[in-house]
Amino acid sequence: MHDHTHLASRRSFVASANGHADFPLQNLPFGIFAPRDGAPRAGVAVGDMILDLDAVLAAGLLDGAAEEAAAAAEGGVLNEMLALGAGPRRVLRNRLFDLLSESSAERPRIERMLHAAKNCTLRLPARIGDYTDFYAGIQHATNVGALFRPDAPLLPNYKHVPIGYHGRASSVVSSGHPVRRPNGQRKPASEDTPSFGPSRNLDYELELGIWIGPGNALGEPIPIGKAADHIAGFCLLNDWSARDIQGWEYQPLGPFLAKNFCTTISPWIITPEAMAPFRRAQAKRPEGDPRPMDYLWNEADQAHGALELELEVFLLTPGLREKGMAPHRLSLGHASALYWTPAQLVAHHASGGCNLRPGDLLGTGTISTEGGFGSLLEITRGGKQPVQLASGETRRFLEDGDEVMLTARARRDGFASIGFGECRGAVSPAPSAR
């Protein structure tokens, strides 16, 4: 559903917004920021600036549902605003679009509520009650499966049930937060006994994050036809993974300490309203794949439920940094590689009665495409084929001082393209292992 807020011809009086790679007027993502010497508050990204949403509310520039949504965003977390769902959020977005437009009658007042983003700190946008990580990237599942089971990379359940596990919400951090290498139990095949120490195979995972909106009561499933209404937005998500710890601990109950030491997200919530022009049909399943069961099947979701989104991963090493060289692009992928739509993940999660709550976070699972692998595990084939860098360095897995940055770009002819902003994290040394 498109409206005037999606027209590529519309411009903002915020000069840096026009043609901005991530945050043109047509995006307007919500987040929590702290200006220098100021308390955290709700804001909206526009070009290189952040609009103080609390100030817009206090100035009396909002009414009706827009006022309701902005009032719910007060207090330094967005959970209550996410709980309101799409209605008030859309009205607020449309009002902010007008206030920030070239022709805005309120330009002088709004200008005083803008902060240069470079002078602000971005926080987590919501209190994340629960975080769940799926495994919906079928190419990733196939690549990883092939490392262990060359003849049958995908397990028999994969094409029937969206695979996932409950992750850890407490260690989700906003872009830029240092990522401390974890200590843990490692037992490579070459060693007879396990030992405790810094992970030797630290990896990243390129994923999309899905923010939950209203959610459901315990015991009340979310029908697939309503699942999209419970998605409040999207972000980038790096599910940092210690492969050596993972390989030793994961059986029989699945991921644990190899995953829970840190998860980095991009701090802006990209709304479904901003993503409206960038919906696409879910990729057709290959001949012979099972049709999703009825509780996961919805015609509209199949027709528009997937995302038109390019994803990139960059690596900046100490060597590249010292030589003044550009970050190395590890991959260019696409969100169309997801075997399940975001709505299917939501419907599946709630299908047994589990309650999703406003501000919960879902990860899609690592997104890999042909030639665009979303982890070093795949790129280096388990560490066997190191990446060669222009600095002369090589990488099997991440070294201390390495920085990983994820970006996303949505584009379609006739529309202003939008991005998700940065999701970056630099690896710092493990604490003493004793």
Interacting residues toward Mn ion by CB under 5 A: 133, 205, 239
**Residue 135 CB, nearest approach to Mn ion (Å):** 7
Contact predicate 333/295, CB 8 Å: no
Residues 6+ away with beta carbon under 8 Å from 247 = 187, 188
> Which is nearest to 217 in space by CA: 353, 362, 78?
353
**Residue 237 CB, nearest approach to Mn ion (Å):** 8
As a three-state string, the secondary structure of the chain is: CCCHHHECCCCECCHHHCCCCCCCCCCCCEEEEEECCCCCEEEEEECCEEEEHHHHHHCCCCCHHHHHHHHHCCCCCCHHHHHCCHHHHHHHHHHHHHHHECCCCCHHHHHCCEEEHHHEEEECCCCCCCEEEECCEHHHHHHHHHHHCCCCCCCCCCCCCCCEEECCCCCEEECCCCEECCEEEECCCCCCCCEEEECCCEECCEEEEEEECCCCCCCCCCCHHHHHHHEEEEEEEECCEEHHHHHHHCCCCCCCCCCCCCEEECCCEECCCCCHHHEECCCCCCCCCCCCCHHHCCHHHHHHCEECCEEEEEEECHHHHHCCCCCEEEEEEEHHHECCCHHHHHHHHHCCCCCCCCCCEEECCCCCECCECCCHHHHCCCCCCCEECCCCCEECCCCCCCEEEEEEEECCCCECCEECCCEEEEEECCCCCC
Nearer to Mn ion, 107 or 177 (CB): 177
Identity at 220, one-letter amino acid code? E
**Residue 344 CB, nearest approach to Mn ion (Å):** 17
Nearer to Mn ion, 239 or 393 (CB): 239
Omega cis (within 30) before 252: yes
Nearer to Mn ion, 148 or 196 (CB): 148
**How far is 95 from 67, CA to CA, in rounded Å?**
10
**Residue 134 CB, nearest approach to Mn ion (Å):** 8
Contact predicate 97/25, CB 8 Å: yes
**How far is 10 from 38, CA to CA, in rounded Å?**
32
**Residue 164 CB, nearest approach to Mn ion (Å):** 9
**Residue 133 CB, nearest approach to Mn ion (Å):** 5
Nearer to Mn ion, 6 or 259 (CB): 259
Nearer to Mn ion, 133 or 310 (CB): 133
Q: Which residue is nearest to Mn ion (CB)?
A: 239
**Residue 336 CB, nearest approach to Mn ion (Å):** 18
Nearer to Mn ion, 205 or 273 (CB): 205
Active site residue 230: no
Nearer to Mn ion, 90 or 168 (CB): 168
**How far is 387 from 319, CA to CA, in rounded Å?**
14
Nearer to Mn ion, 238 or 417 (CB): 238
**Residue 330 CB, nearest approach to Mn ion (Å):** 16
Nearer to Mn ion, 261 or 415 (CB): 261
Q: How far is CA 42 from CA 81, 127, 326, in A?
A: 10, 13, 33
**Residue 338 CB, nearest approach to Mn ion (Å):** 13
Active-site position among 140, 230, 328, 349: 140
> Which active-site residues does the annotation give?
140
